Structure 1
Amino acid sequence: MNRLTPLPTIMVAPNGARRGKADHPALPITIAETIATARACHAAGAGALHAHVRDAEGAHVLDAGLYAELIAEMKQAIPALPVQITTEAAGVFTPADQRALLRQITPEAVSIALVEMLADGDHAAARRCYHSLAEAGVAVQHILYDAEQLHWLVKEIAAGTIPDTNLTVLYVLGRYNKGQISAPDDLSPFLAMAKDLGLTPDWAVCAFGTAETACLAVAHALGGKIRVGFENNLHMADGSIAADNAARVAEVARLIR
């Protein structure tokens, strides 16, 4: 069984695809910075790393070589902290690019946005990708941006595009919009839809904006897991700017204790 099946209670997402040093000087860009951040976040209570890699200019890339380097160095530096890579398109990469990444590397875990992987309508290629991951024992987390995408997920499972095993999802509250503030009530449609569909996935939540902590507290109280970090929010619960990702992890770790 994969170490990310089931999900850890807290996963840290320290950088994402869009923010850089101009947004916060402690946001990790290089592999060395990501490992140092991961070490501090693990000490603060994180059970896994949601990892993005960046090129020499700091841009988000789907680069198998960089991911392999990060994973290898993480295993040496912090062997107890599993790594989840991502296929996030970030408005740049195609479904074919995402599938190509996953042919070049077999990670321990990967997050895949349903709406991005199926954007080209090539269900046969998507099926090969998802089933290859399942056969290799890769823990796939399905990223869902609204409740209706749960219905879509069920449809694709029924069609055989996605294997019906170890179903793991991330409910995303909000978007990459300037001034976005998600609210705990944003979670309700996801939970209601899952109940209507008879789904009982291993679920987690991430939330954009300054109400991230409140959203994560509600998710945990309702039985969900937490993804926290600078990918989605730079603020502490009191509205102040967090010193670093470890401060965000420590705050939610204290909250759930």
Structure 2
Amino acid sequence: MEKPFIMVAPNGARRGKADHPALPVSIEETVAAAAACHAEGAAALHLHVRDAAGRHALDPGLYAEALAEMARVLPEMRVQITTESAGMFEVADQLACLEALRPGWASVSVREMARAPELAERLYGLCADEGIEIQHILYDTADAALLRDWQARGTVRPGKESVIFVLGRYEDGPASTPQGIAPFLEALPGVGDWMICAFGAAEHACLAEAARLGGALRVGFENALVDAEGVPHADNAASVRRLLQTIEGDKS
């Protein structure tokens, strides 16, 4: 088995220093965390930015600042921005962010886009016209069915097939299990460019199974702060290191 493609998601939209003191909040902290994770084997960064109060933001100016800093410090690491609403933003805000920023790579939830289908058409058209790579966020098989429908209708343009399967949720949601991968793959037969992320203590077990099946992996404090025994990781880089050790152990 070849080494899988690993993306690190070091903070997310909801967690802060109170959840883990090593969780990066500022752009400087996020870039430093990305560099440490890259040294351990992560190839890409899933980027969230925060406003002055530490809240999740879809601010093109903050994104531009973070992207510029990543390009200066770590040009060899790919960067994907998020358009996650986190219950704070509407589709119009997500579209406006992409229109202003025009990033190389963005994650987009089909479930969130479905709140305003007419704007979804514009957003997906923008991504096609500007060459913005999209990774479709799928929370369940209903999301996968919606994506297939939009692809058939031409709402999602050809060549935009990349997906990420989300296993589990935050602490108050269902637990992640490696068995949660199969329904997604069954719902999207033949999908080639797929990744998973998994919430909670089973994160690494789920990611190791995805690696065995040929998927890409997203790891980090956005999804899990602790290892399989419930012990907190020292930081995001430690989680990346432990994940690769788990995968290597599974191969032996």
TM more than 0.5 = yes
What is the TM-score when the length of structure 1 is the normalising length?
A: 0.92
Aligned length: 245
User: How far apart in 1 are the matches of 2:45 and 2:134?
Assistant: 14
- SS of aligned partner of 1:43: helix
2:221 aligns with one of 219, 227, 230: 230
State the shift of 1:88 in Å: 0.2
Q: Deviations over 1:174-228 (max 9, x none)?
A: 1234375311111121111122xxx423000000010001110111111111000
Q: Deviations over 1:134-189 (max 9, x none)?
A: 22221100000001211110110111110120410000001234375311111121
Q: Deviations over 1:104-137 (max 9, x none)?
A: 0011110000000121232xx2222112212222
TM-score when scaled to structure 2?
0.93
Corresponding residue number in structure 1 for 2:201: 210
State the match for 2:39 in structure 1. 43
User: Which sections of structure 2, spanning at least 5 residues, go unmatched?
Assistant: none
Of the candidates 148, 155, 159, which is equivalent to residue 149 of structure 2? 155
Give the RMSD, CA atoms, in angstroms.
1.3
One of 26, 29, 32 as aligned partner of 2:25 = 29
What is the deviation of 1:236?
A: 1.9
2:231 paired residue among 240, 250, 256: 240
Task: Measure, in 1, the Cα distance between the counterparts of 2:163 and 2:125.
Answer: 17
CA displacement, residues 65-93 of structure 1 (integer Å, 9 cap, x when unaligned): 00000000100000001110011000110
Structure 1 segments unaligned to the other structure (5+ residues): 1-7
Asked whether the 8 Å contact 2:7–2:218 carries over to 1, the reply is yes
Match of 2:61 among 56, 61, 65: 65
Percent identical among aligned pairs is 53
Aligned to 1:251: 242
Q: Which residue of 2 aligns with 1:182?
A: 176
Query: How far apart, CA to CA, are the structure 1 residues paired with 2:193 and 2:156?
Result: 16
Q: Which amino acid aligns with 2:203?
A: E
* Aligned counterpart, 2:132: 138
The answer to whether structure 1 residue 191 and structure 2 residue 185 are counterparts is yes
The answer on whether the counterparts of 2:201 and 2:228 sit within 8 Å (CA) in structure 1 is yes
Distance 1:221 1:30 in 2: 35
Report the Cα distance in structure 1 between the residues aligned to 2:202 and 2:240, rounded to whole angstroms: 15
